Amino acid sequence: MDSKKYVSEINSTENLETLGELEIKYLGRNGLINDLLSKIKDIPNEEKKAYGQKINELKTSMYRYIADKKKELQSKKSNVFFDKTLPGKSYPKGSIHIVSYAIEEITKIFEKIDFIRVSYPEVDWEYGAFESLNMPANHPARDDVETSFIDTPAHSTLGKMVLTPHTSNGQNREMKRVGKPPIRMINISKCYRPNWDPTHTPMFHQFEGLCVDPNISIVNLKGTLDHFAEKYFGKGTKTRLRPHHFQFTEPSFEVDISCNNCHGTAKVDGNKCRVCKSGWLELGGCGMVHPNVLKEGGIDSKKYSGWAFGFGIERVIMMKYGLDDIRNYYSGDIRFLEQF
């Protein structure tokens, strides 16, 4: 081959792509060098040695020219002018989900006052979800219209498997785990109920507080709720208890917090507050742990007393930011989620 031809071809290449093509053309599996080597069988024996040497020299020379050209083109590429003053490209930023963020905030508030964060199963036996909580077999919440049952064989003593409708199933487990009070639990987990409207989703989260020790009273409960309300919703937020009924607490209450929009006055600029209409917003349920629940957890109800509460995470977020439809949290609509 005319050596001038390949040298000028290689030297006149202006980019790495074309050089790559030339490398294949000369040195590739079906390239010129291999083609010449395959012809060695047709060369007379006495000329074979010289022929082979010539091809090897050609091959080495091609390698060298290609390698030199490659270096030259690469160094040209890295010398391309780079303007440091141009504005950078902005990439979309991710953020943690509004519910995960609230879980972190709530955990921190309770950990600071010595509560231990636990997360008990979201699939449990009827015993944990109802029986251990003083809820007899005929309790309406145990109906399959209210609770989702898992289609597996029932346990001989613990009953059927359910998707837990509340985090109160953690009470019995925590009493048995700790054994001897003091107990200060904050149980955060997923719950399931067949509901779908602006304030209810089939899957939601609750956080459940449980405190058991000697001489624990409603005063401790109210103090803890006030502390949480101020830390989570802001200074000056108050709580109030209204009598209610739960099977697992006696007495039982519903908890309200003062509305941050009207500061509990029910009026804004002389008009009815559009957020609460009454000065108060409902947070969830609470009460003094029923003696039967303590007994079932292996705790002497004559020696110890306790309180418990259970609130919806989606609900507290709604109240904090003045949102009106919790279904948006799970819509996957980035325009809604990226606001937080």
One-letter identity of residue 229: A
Residue 42 CB contacts under 8 Å (≥ 6 apart), including other chains: none
**In this chain, which residue has its C-beta nearest to ligand FA5?**
312
Residue closer to ligand FA5 (CB basis): 53 or 202: 202
How far is CA 232 from each of CA 39, 105, 178, 324, 340, rounded to the nearest angstrom? 85, 8, 28, 19, 16
**Is residue 23 within the footprint of ligand FA5 (CB under 6 A)?**
no
Instruction: Kindly state the smallest distance separating residue 81's Cβ from ligand FA5, in Å.
Output: 58
Rounded distance, CA 130 to CA 247, Å? 9
x-or-dash string of contact with ligand FA5, 191-220, rule CB under 6 A: --x-x----xx--x-x-x------------
Instruction: Kindly state the smallest distance separating residue 271's Cβ from ligand FA5, in Å.
Output: 27
Residues 128-187 that bind ligand FA5 (CB under 6 A): 166, 168
Helix ranges (H only) for the chain are 3-11, 16-27, 32-38, 45-78, 98-111, 126-129, 169-178, 218-233, 291-296, 313-321, 334-337
Residue closer to ligand FA5 (CB basis): 65 or 246: 246
Residues 219-248 that bind ligand FA5 (CB under 6 A): 246
3-state secondary structure 12-66: CCCCHHHHHHHHHHHHCCCCHHHHHHHHHHHCCHHHHHHHHHHHHHHHHHHHHHH
Instruction: Kindly state the smallest distance separating residue 188's Cβ from ligand FA5, in Å.
Output: 12
Kindly determine how many residues on this chain lie close enough to bind ligand FA5 according to the rule CB under 6 A. 22
Instruction: Kindly state the smallest distance separating residue 273's Cβ from ligand FA5, in Å.
Output: 20
Residues 248-267 that bind ligand FA5 (CB under 6 A): 249
Residues 284-323 that bind ligand FA5 (CB under 6 A): 284-287, 308-312, 314-315
Q: Kindly indicate which of the ranges 22-30, 152-160, 269-277, 280-288 contains the residues binding ligand FA5, using the contact rule CB under 6 A.
A: 280-288
Q: Kindly indicate which of the ranges 62-70, 176-184, 261-269, 279-287 contains the residues binding ligand FA5, using the contact rule CB under 6 A.
A: 279-287
Angle (deg, nearest 10), helices 3-11 and 16-27: 160
Strand order in the sheet with 203-213: 116-118, 183-192, 203-213, 305-312, 280-289, 249-258, 239-246
Residue 281 CB contacts under 8 Å (≥ 6 apart), including other chains: 256, 257, 259, 275, 319
Residue closer to ligand FA5 (CB basis): 139 or 200: 200
Instruction: Kindly state the smallest distance separating residue 146's Cβ from ligand FA5, in Å.
Output: 10
Contacts with ligand FA5 by CB under 6 A lie at 166, 168, 193, 195, 200-201, 204, 206, 208, 246, 249, 284-287, 308-312, 314-315
